[in-house]
Amino acid sequence: MLHVVLYQPEIPHNTGAIGRLCLATGATLHLIKPLGFDLSEKAVKRAGLDYWKDVSLKIWDHFDDLQEAYPENNYWYLTTKTSQSYWGARFQDGDFLVFGTESRGLPESLLQTQAQSCLTIPMQAGSTRSLNLATSAGIVMYEAFRQIEFKG
């Protein structure tokens, strides 16, 4: 099973789409506070996320708390601020795919200390500054599942 981490997500539609990806693949979704939206039952129902109750979801106050709970797992940090493509990564069952907030990405301090584990999705030069968060998560999740021979 993979783990998908959204660090301080801001846009509810992205989180909803990624939650659906996690449900479809059996991945656990981890959200790091603060969240830019309401996840109360009423808000989720209003948004039409009828599948949300089935998503394996964990909410953390701090990223450090998550890392302390899973100290032996591999963490991959997705960012536009590296040249290391996700194509070169060797994903394993139990890995964490960590995505930053939509407007700022992951903290520079984290990227600097984890440079060897930073990955990017290659894009044509000058085409765009980044991809949508949910699109990025889907691309990398399914490559990870392909590598670990996800059997659906």
For the chain, domain boundaries: 3-147
- pLDDT classification of 151: cutoffs 50, 70, 90: low
What pLDDT does residue 152 have?
52
Nearest to 17 by CA among 103, 106, 138, 102: 138
Asked if residue 11 lies in contact with residue 131, where contact means CB atoms within 8 angstroms, the answer is: no
Which residue in the block uniquely carries the two structure tokens 């139990």? 94
- 3-147 CATH: 3.40.1280.10
Asked if 27 contacts 4 with a C-beta cutoff of 8 angstroms, the reply is: yes
pLDDT tens profile 48-90:
788 889 999 999 999 999 999 999 999 999 999 999 999 999 9
- Measured distance CA(45)–CA(36) in Å, rounded: 17
Q: How far apart are CA 15 and CA 114, in angstroms?
A: 24
Mean pLDDT of 25-32: 96
Distance CA 12, CA 32 (A): 14
Omega before 34 within 30 of 0, i.e. cis: yes
pLDDT in tens, 86-132: 999 999 999 999 999 999 999 999 999 999 999 999 998 877 778 99
